[in-house]
Structure 1
Amino acid sequence: MPIVATCSHCHATFEANDRLADKKIRCPKCGEVIRISSGAATPGATTFRGAPALSRNLMDDAEIPIKDPLADRAAHSLARKKFRRRLMLWSVLLTFVAIIGVGIYIAYQKVQTMKMPVAAAGGIIIPPPPLADQLHWSTFESPNDWSIQFPDVPQESSADGTTTIWLDGGPDLGRFLVEVRQESNAAWNNLTGQISVEEAKREVNSANLLSVADRRSLFATGYQVHRIRLTGDIPMQGSHSAITYKFSVDGATYTILWQGKTSEAGSQVVRHFFVSFQRKGAAPLSG
């Protein structure tokens, strides 16, 4: 049954649905919020009929939602907590990225300091960097247009078309060796060419105690360079490694080898020994 409500602001009266009793609505005339009293007068009084937006009989959709201050504070508190969580997450993420960046930079600087000089064009050897132990580097020059540097005075031997240049640096430096055989192994230069295990272990001391840990190939000027790494434990000497580069070109087979303690395999001395090798003015082992 409709009830009659009176606006407490403009004093206009209007009929409203009895379901709006004791609820707050906006006056259809002045727009102010008023409460509909359950004891309002019954129909028959002078009523306001000029509301442009609301019908004479107000329905449920005319009810004005009233905000709860406690609910508002709870919502703001939850929003602040979510913001703090996001801020903390981004802070942790940025810190992690910064740590990774610093680690990459340090690793890059470390690699840069380990780089060895590469032979320049025209067969000019760039001098090796100063080393902590002040090693004396000697350059061995072959009459067959190749050369290499040793961290001491190398020794030479030859037999049956094979020339071997070697240096035994003892337990600290290891063993450096270059072997040149006057024989061709054209199969080594095939795209899928491989070197036998026997060939990989050729000229390696205690080869039966070492096994192939890694092997890869790279292309130089018109031929393929094979890199083999052997590792194993030698009694009374501990973990040892042998790094060998092999290639065949112009009717000759080259073996450039270092063998010593595994801990020294990546040292500046070993790295410079390999990159100092030149053939006809090029440095095929510098890649």
Structure 2
Amino acid sequence: MTDYVVKTMNLSKKYKNNLVVDNLNLNIKRGEIYGFIGENGAGKSTTLRMLTGLSKPTSGKINLFGFDFENKSGNFRKRIGALIESPAFYPSMSAYENLEACRIQKGIPGKKSTDKLLEFVDLPNPSKKKVKNFSMGMKQKLGLAIALMGDPELLILDEPVNGLDPVGIVQMREKLKKLNSNKNMTIIISSHILGELYQLASCFGIIHRGKLIEELTLETLNKKCRRSLNIKTDNVEKAAVILEGKLNTSNFNVLPDKTIALYDYIDNPGKVSSALSRANVTVEQIMPTGQNLEDYFINLIGGLK
């Protein structure tokens, strides 16, 4: 069994004279949650459409589950679930009826799968409410349920939290984590909410003007964006002793300018300040530093224009 669920080799897509995707080389391993990041028009949706067969590449190759995309024996359609752009529904039918139509179309026996999916995405069942009267958030939930019909190995989601309120966004995140951990489902997800994507993805691909400018794991990202509490005191040596003795941490460095970079207690600077003050160490400055995913992305593409 191949370690890679998705590999692309010099994948390109051109519309007339506009090169939307430019020699893209994606490498997505089985069981990963791959955060696909880019500005509007960077080529994210076009790439995802090519991966699902909704758009044909101008050049390059796609390899799925160890098979060339053109190899019909790969049986890709049944192994992929996707929610890309605005999902297509029967507007005059209920959520249940839409899912049943999808189940029958895919040749999946038994109605239990429909009931389970509605329960999983938290859509009321039974409900006669027509999809045309759904909120954007409810449509996103139904789109996810349709994408999950047939228990796919690869789930491709393009902006799945559009229209969801803050609670719905958290619920979506937890559901995707559950699918990934319980089923080892590989998930590709694009989102403009980079803080949310950071909490979900295990690796990232950053695309800019059609080109993949970096792929990196969450671990590598954290090293590059390592957060710390930067502490300036009147007695660096004594402060280091207090950190080790009272706060039980040696996870810090003394920088050349005598600032202490503490990598623990980042979200609890008050505890650090109190411990130092009780030991008669004057805290001149204590400030969290480090990039988040949004900062890293903006810097990587050359800053705000």
Please state which band the TM-score falls in when normalised by the shorter chain.
Answer: under 0.3
Instruction: Point out the structure with max Rg over C-alpha.
Output: 1
- Answer 1 or 2: higher relative contact order, Cα 8 Å, separation at least 6: 2
TM-score by length of 2: 0.22
